[in-house]
Structure 1
Amino acid sequence: MKWTFLSVLSCASAVYAGALGGDGGPIVSFKELLGSPRLSSAVPNPAGTLALFSSSKYSFDKHDSNKSVHVVDITVPNGEVTKLWDDKNVAETVWLGIGDYIGYLKANGTKSELWISKATNNVENAVQESQKVYEFPGEVSNLKFKAVGEVVYFIVSAPAFKDGSIYSADTAPKKHSSGRVYTSLFVRHWDEWISEYKSNLFSGVIARGATGDFEVVGDLTNLLHGTELESPVGPFGGTGDFDISPDGKNVIFLSKAPKLDLAQNTATYVYAVPFTGGSKPKAINPHHGATISPRFSPDGSKVVYLQMRENGYEADKNEIFITEFTPDYNFVITQVAKNWDRSPGSVTWSANNNYLYLIGEDHGREKVWTLPIISTAPASKPHLDPTPITSEFSANDLYVIGDSENLLVSVSSYTSPTFYLIISATDGKIQDLTSPLTKLHDTPASTERGTWHGLSRSQVSDFYYPGSDGFKVHAWIIKPSFFDSSKKYPLLFLIHGGPQGAWDDAWSYRWNPAVMAEQGYVVVAFNPTGSTGYGKEFTDRIQNHWGGRPFRDLELGFEYLEKHYGDFIDTKNAIAAGASYGGYMINWIAGQPFAKKFKTLVCHDGIFNTLNMYATEELWFIDHDFKGQIFDHREHFERWNPLGNVKHWSTPMLIIHSSKDYRIPISEALAAFNVLQIKGIKSKLLTFPDENHWVLKPENSLVWHREVFNWMKEFSGVSGGRLGEEEEGEAVEEAKGLKGVKLSGEMGQDILRDD
């Protein structure tokens, strides 16, 4: 095989020059998408006057990222933004809980520093009284404060040495071999090999010294030392995995059940421990499934958390539990909203302790819900269901503003990245905070809520159709901004991952239906059997039916498009694409007659051979979804195995997979690509050695989008759209193989993950 190393500097390929909409309005290229500011959630200060948020932005000119921190005055119409600083070394910024002081972690080589400053909305002097308060011996993260008067209790997380101290790369024993030895699971998780240094929580106290400056009083305490517990829970745990009581005396945190095999069990406990340590953490909740979002009530008398019923089922419904919290750690647990057939992803207390505010998925939208707890509910209705106070877009995060009943909600939609709303929890009235989005994106304010950069809500619609076994199935239609109802557009048929997931009306920097539509397609995103947000039964029906019910839903969905949307969707010019489970479904479709409906298929991180899936890390997932372990129920794995139908493969396919994907190992892509090549089917493999299940680095993501849509263009004949100009200085590897197939990849600068 001949390897050729090309420089885009000297060998830039041609791309679309770009086209504006029929009315001359702007459309969005992938480069504009990936180079746009990414706003964090906005968090209000204790007084409810200012909100803190950060923004990260990648420059394709400088090939580097930058991070800025801002406050927005939420007491004025639309909000008023003031920048505090630009500093990519600042990792986390949090309200201290005293006035308008903020604390933040700053990287200093192999160590983290804790700084405190006063934030103001004074443009001339936005940051005041900055001081370094503490230098940790290593890198820490997940900073959380709880102020009690003028004393501030704080927690950080860090990997720990066996003696309980914070891991330091400077003092760790130097290894002269790269060998790893394991005697239990996990061996690796998500995109990392498991280390001997486990994540622990460290507590500390900040007070003012004799000079009035803030200082850390005494030593830090490792709250998990001497146990087998780990917190936050990997791979995505953060500050939501623990909380500090309002009086600063206790901490609650999440940890997996330490005596159970981590790869086969989802069981997670909420533990309680004194803030100063000194006693063994005590589990609050009983043994069931995964647990998330433990929160003290504002008066400290109760704890709420969300827990799944079934151990080993990661997509089970989150149920809502409240326990009394007493100094002697005697917990009396009550379940609320037992009959609610939705699964919330987060929970927050109202300022008066009487209500819970939840974010939960419902019919393709992440809605905000309010729930009176039992003590405030009518005696005749002790198990009220939550009531939605939003009906459109998708909420990412919410915070109570001061002592009010107003919520600061971070939201996004198919047609807008993160924006902020103030929503009344009592009547649902909305106040727009448009300034952060318009100022940081340097774009005029839109007159239409939930839109950005010329995109419009008129581009988005949805429909329901009869699916398998009489169940209704939901799907989204996203049109290009230059849509002309007198014309027909190629169909981009999207299949989501999970499989227990959904296409929600939310922004994405990876699979973005609106920006994909800008390439000249009508995008239809389906939520078939197994999707979340439509009730537990609909989600659970995918178990042991991966290539059955959801596949039939997709076939019926295509037929529905042919019958009802043929006036503007060219179903004779269709392309199907999917990632993760969606990639599995692409491989499954390839071996079915349904594949003849598509001119090409795009498979990102898809399973090719279900019998190989014991190479994954979270074994509970494959065991649950295939209803048993492979050595007892091999027939379940073989029933829906794409490998079994490869003799019928004939549709051209683009395969994308990355080396650090430990959820679905890259061997799945290599095997599928080998089959395509051996059978002489037109195909291409794109791989990134430095990416995981997701392609996150902007330079890599730009290559991903260009490769995908240039490939699709070959088959669809699309002539409009904007891919974005080629960049200079990108290193692209190309390997010439059979049929002239290309294997390409690109290295890019590392930046913060797209959360």
Structure 2
Amino acid sequence: MKKICLLLAVLVYSFAASSQNLMTPEKLWQLGRVSALGLTKDKQFLLYSVAIPSIAENKSKRKIYKIAVTGGDAMEVSNADSLMENEKISSDGKYIISSDEVQVKNVKANDIYKDLPKSNAYVFTSLNYRHWDTWEDGKFAHVFVAPYSNGKAGEAKDIMAGEPYDAPQKPFGGDEDFVWNPDGKHVVYVAKKKFGTAYAISTNTELYEYDVENGTTKNLTEKNKGYDVNPQFNKQGNLAWLQMKREGYEADKQDIIVGVKIIAPNGESSLKTYNLTTTRDDIHVESFKWSEDGKSIFFIAPINGTLQLFSVNNPT
């Protein structure tokens, strides 16, 4: 009797297993890649995108949807840009910021040696000549500021003209690497202003503040020698960012720093900083967001193999 029961159990299990679809790369390619885009201007809907990879076309097709923050059915939209606030436009609406690639260095042989126009070699004399699968080609991502009126941008100014540095950072940096101060007069961007071997071995990214009116640039995080990334302002003008302390240590603990601008009697400004997560050795902040009233910060950090949502008060 036991043998019959065992045989029946094996047959039932085998039938159930054979009726299920196996997980294959092809099945994974059919899954949509979901990314949150943000809230609509009225804060009533969440916008998100779903990208479906196409093997035949070797690219993904993306659709954008909105869903009420209170729940309900999702609706496809075609005008997502008009539904969201454009954070790259200054608070007074006079300027817009963007990023673009700029040729700064000559590394191709036919650019260096004009008598060798057919040469397709790259010439390097030091690091950094390649990052993973991408060669350094002498082009660098720069931040641009342009006057903005009636929905159109005027002639853009490269605020890093001639500099062999990237902003946004490569390879992971994006739009979060350059942001407006709510005063509409200053742009803060992330850059590691080192070149060659010094760039390759350093983790010392800095936050730089560009003054739109007088064209000057100031290093806001010069005292810290590790990573300074992801600058975000609240509506009250307080600046927060993510920071690692130690130079050259990519796996250092990442904390949330809040900086408050202090004006000295001579008119010079500096940042008084507060580390909001330094007392928790078990917390490595992955991402964060200011609350609407600017009184607290929400952040995500891994704890015991899970990702948890936290909040911390703004001490300023």
> TM-score, normalised to structure 2's length?
0.79
In 1, Cα distance between equivalents of 2:167 and 2:57? 37
Is the Cα contact below 8 Å between 2:40 and 2:85 reproduced in 1?
Answer: no
Query: In the alignment, which residue of structure 2 is the partner of 1:112?
Result: none
Structure 1 position 148, deviation (Å): 2.7
1:268 is the counterpart of 2:180: no
Is the Cα contact below 8 Å between 2:104 and 2:164 reproduced in 1?
Answer: no
In 2, Cα distance between equivalents of 1:245 and 1:32? 45
Structure 1 position 70, deviation (Å): 2.4
Question: Where in structure 2 are the equivalents of 1:716-727 lying within 5 Å?
Answer: none
Question: Where in structure 2 are the equivalents of 1:422-433 lying within 5 Å?
Answer: none
Is the Cα contact below 8 Å between 2:143 and 2:178 reproduced in 1?
Answer: no
AA paired with 1:203?
V
Question: Where in structure 2 are the equivalents of 1:26-65 lying within 5 Å?
Answer: 28-60=23-55, 65=60
In structure 2, the CA distance between the partners of 1:313 and 1:74, relative to structure 1 (3 Å rule), is same
Please point out which of 65, 76, 83 is paired with 1:83. Answer: 76
In structure 2, the CA distance between the partners of 1:227 and 1:30, relative to structure 1 (3 Å rule), is closer
Query: In the alignment, which residue of structure 2 is the partner of 1:233?
Result: 169
AA paired with 1:313?
Y
Is the Cα contact below 8 Å between 1:273 and 1:282 reproduced in 2?
Answer: no
Is the Cα contact below 8 Å between 2:39 and 2:84 reproduced in 1?
Answer: no
AA paired with 1:269?
E
Please point out which of 158, 166, 186 is paired with 1:222. Answer: 158
Please point out which of 196, 219, 226 is paired with 1:289. Answer: 226
In structure 2, the CA distance between the partners of 1:348 and 1:101, relative to structure 1 (3 Å rule), is closer
Structure 1 position 335, deviation (Å): 2.1
1:145 is the counterpart of 2:88: yes
Is the Cα contact below 8 Å between 2:220 and 2:270 reproduced in 1?
Answer: no
In 2, Cα distance between equivalents of 1:273 and 1:146? 15
3-state SS of 2:170 partner: coil
Question: Where in structure 2 are the equivalents of 1:325-404 lying within 5 Å?
Answer: 325=261, 329-341=269-281, 342-375=283-316
AA paired with 1:357?
F
Structure 1 position 50, deviation (Å): 2.1
User: What per-residue deviation string (whole Å, max 9, x for no partner) do you get for residues 137-178 of structure 1?
Assistant: xxxxxxx524536x2643221111349xxxxxxxxx996321
3-state SS of 2:98 partner: strand
AA paired with 2:125?
T
AA paired with 1:345?
E
Structure 1 position 338, deviation (Å): 1.8
Question: Where in structure 2 are the equivalents of 1:574-613 lying within 5 Å?
Answer: none
3-state SS of 2:271 partner: coil
Extract unaligned runs of 5+ from structure 2: 1-13, 106-113
**Identical amino acids, percent of aligned pairs:** 22
Query: In the alignment, which residue of structure 1 is the partner of 2:139?
Result: 197
User: What per-residue deviation string (whole Å, max 9, x for no partner) do you get for residues 520-556 of structure 1?
Assistant: xxxxxxxxxxxxxxxxxxxxxxxxxxxxxxxxxxxxx
Query: In the alignment, which residue of structure 1 is the partner of 2:65?
Result: 70
Query: In the alignment, which residue of structure 2 is the partner of 1:176?
Result: 118
Question: Where in structure 2 are the equivalents of 1:482-501 lying within 5 Å?
Answer: none
Extract unaligned runs of 5+ from structure 1: 1-18, 86-92, 104-143, 164-172, 209-213, 376-755
Question: Where in structure 2 are the equivalents of 1:367-516 lying within 5 Å?
Answer: 367-375=308-316
Question: Where in structure 2 are the equivalents of 1:307-326 lying within 5 Å?
Answer: 307-325=243-261
In structure 2, the CA distance between the partners of 1:20 and 1:193, relative to structure 1 (3 Å rule), is farther
Query: In the alignment, which residue of structure 1 is the partner of 2:241?
Result: 305
AA paired with 1:284?
T
AA paired with 2:246?
E
In 1, Cα distance between equivalents of 2:201 and 2:22? 46
Structure (1 or 2) with the larger CA radius of gyration: 1
AA paired with 2:91?
V
In 2, Cα distance between equivalents of 1:183 and 1:64? 36
In structure 2, the CA distance between the partners of 1:268 and 1:59, relative to structure 1 (3 Å rule), is closer
AA paired with 2:88?
F
3-state SS of 1:273 partner: strand
AA paired with 1:288?
K
> TM-score, normalised to structure 1's length?
0.35
AA paired with 1:200?
H
Structure 1 position 287, deviation (Å): 3.3
Is the Cα contact below 8 Å between 1:359 and 1:367 reproduced in 2?
Answer: yes
In 2, Cα distance between equivalents of 1:46 and 1:287? 36
Q: How many residues were matched structurally?
A: 288
AA paired with 2:224?
H
In 2, Cα distance between equivalents of 1:20 and 1:343? 46
Please point out which of 181, 191, 194 is paired with 1:255. Answer: 191
AA paired with 1:319?
D
In structure 2, the CA distance between the partners of 1:329 and 1:24, relative to structure 1 (3 Å rule), is farther
Is the Cα contact below 8 Å between 1:203 and 1:276 reproduced in 2?
Answer: no
In 2, Cα distance between equivalents of 1:177 and 1:23? 58
Higher-RCO chain (CA-CA 8 Å, sequence separation at least 6): 1
More helix by share: 1
Is the Cα contact below 8 Å between 1:45 and 1:95 reproduced in 2?
Answer: no
Structure 1 position 23, deviation (Å): 11
